[in-house]
Amino acid sequence: YKRQLFPLCAVIRIINRVFCSGFRLTVTAACPMNLQYFPMDRQLCTIEIESFGYTMSDIRYNWHKGVASVGISPDVQLPQFRVIGHRQKAKEILLSTGNYSRLVCEIQFVRSMGYYLIQIYIPSSLIVIISWVSFWLNRNATPARVALGVTTVLTMTTLMSSTNAALPKISYVKSIDVFLGTCFVMVFASLLEYATVGYMGKRIQMRKSRLQALQKLAEQRKTGTSETNHAEGGAEGAQPKQTHSKANTVDAFIP
């Protein structure tokens, strides 16, 4: 126990039975919790009553009214938990010093989700949706897409840090860690999507430029080839006329 307060009381012991008049005990007890499913977890806390000095041959503990021996006031409310049930039982514990009687009361709690829905789950979901807005922006709108992606990533990082700072430092993964990690991956992926789109757009533009350059070079070569063929064709057509004129000239001087 963490703290015990024993008000003044009168105790009468008669033949292995203890009757208490006006006895009241206020205890602040520690309850180990398994936070694997946090904040959708259920915890079972146990309160045990046992004598450290008297064995079962001296004293036996029993619940006087059975199930009705333990009652929970309906007016008691906890900010983070709700009591959903309890049960009690009596045990006999065998130790090296003898057998001891023990009373056990188990109280089951379920964590309230309202706070975590408002502070963590809904904001994280909205941040992910906001990061998707960049998919509908023009890929050439670099300032808007970069600012939106970086802002959402930093916001998710801050939210994850503040959430983990309020929890115990434990080594295993919690349910809320899986949710926040998934949201962070989706937000970061939207930022990588812009980088991928920009890179692919640049590659496509380079291919288009190369294709245009090749088409232009092919047209230039085709034009140059046509001009060369036309010039050669003109030269071949002029050559027979010159020979014919020479022939006529030679024929004119024959007697």
HSE value, Cβ hemisphere, 13 Å, CA-based, for 141: 11
The token pair that represents 236 in the structure block: 């071949």
Q: What is the C-alpha separation between 31 and 48, in angstroms, rounded? A: 12
**Do 119 and 199 fall within a single domain?**
yes
Q: Tell me: the pLDDT tens digits for 77-111?
A: 888 888 888 899 988 888 888 899 999 999 999 99
pLDDT at position 1 is 39
Q: Which residue has the higher pLDDT, 16 or 28?
A: 28
In a domain, 217, yes or no: no
Question: DSSP secondary structure string, 70-90?
Answer: S---TT---SSEEEEEEEEEE
Domain boundary among 91, 108, 125: 108
**Do 190 and 149 fall within a single domain?**
yes
In a domain, 232, yes or no: no
What would the mean pLDDT of 61-84 be, rounded to a whole number?
Answer: 83
What would the mean pLDDT of 220-239 be, rounded to a whole number?
Answer: 63
Sign of CA dihedral 164, 168, 172, 178: negative
**Do 103 and 125 fall within a single domain?**
no
**Do 119 and 75 fall within a single domain?**
no
Q: Which residue has the higher pLDDT, 64 or 112?
A: 112
- List the domain range (segments joined by +) for residue 126: 115-206
Neighbours of 244 (CB within 10 A): 10
The residues facing 105 across adjacent strands are 47, 88
- All residues at 6 or more sequence positions from 19 whose CB lies less than 8 Å from its CB, including other chains: 11, 12, 13
pLDDT at position 228 is 64
My answer on whether omega of the bond before 39 falls inside 30° of 0, hence cis, is yes
pLDDT band at 124 (very low <50, low <70, confident <90, very high): very high
Quickly tell me which residue has 């006329």 as its tokens.
241
Asked whether 70 and 27 are in contact (CB, 8 A), the reply is: no
What would the mean pLDDT of 126-131 be, rounded to a whole number?
Answer: 94
What would the mean pLDDT of 140-150 be, rounded to a whole number?
Answer: 86
In a domain, 212, yes or no: no
The residues facing 200 across adjacent strands are none
pLDDT band at 153 (very low <50, low <70, confident <90, very high): very high
pTM of the entire predicted model:
0.68
Quickly tell me which residue has 């700072």 as its tokens.
165
Looking only at the bridges linking them, the beta strands covering 81-95 and 17-21 are unpaired
The token pair that represents 18 in the structure block: 């203890």
Q: What is the C-alpha separation between 165 and 184, in angstroms, rounded? A: 17
pLDDT band at 211 (very low <50, low <70, confident <90, very high): confident
**Do 91 and 122 fall within a single domain?**
no
Q: What is the C-alpha separation between 127 and 241, in angstroms, rounded? A: 88
**Do 128 and 176 fall within a single domain?**
yes
Q: What is the C-alpha separation between 84 and 70, in angstroms, rounded? A: 14
Asked whether 62 and 85 are in contact (CB, 8 A), the reply is: no
List, in sequence order, every beta strand (DSSP E) within 77-186: 81-95, 98-111
The rounded radius of gyration (Å) of the Cα atoms in the chain is 46
Q: Tell me: the pLDDT tens digits for 11-24?
A: 433 344 445 555 66
Number of domains in the chain: 2
The token pair that represents 181 in the structure block: 């990690």
Asked whether 89 and 118 are in contact (CB, 8 A), the reply is: no
What would the mean pLDDT of 157-167 be, rounded to a whole number?
Answer: 89
Q: Which residue has the higher pLDDT, 156 or 69?
A: 156
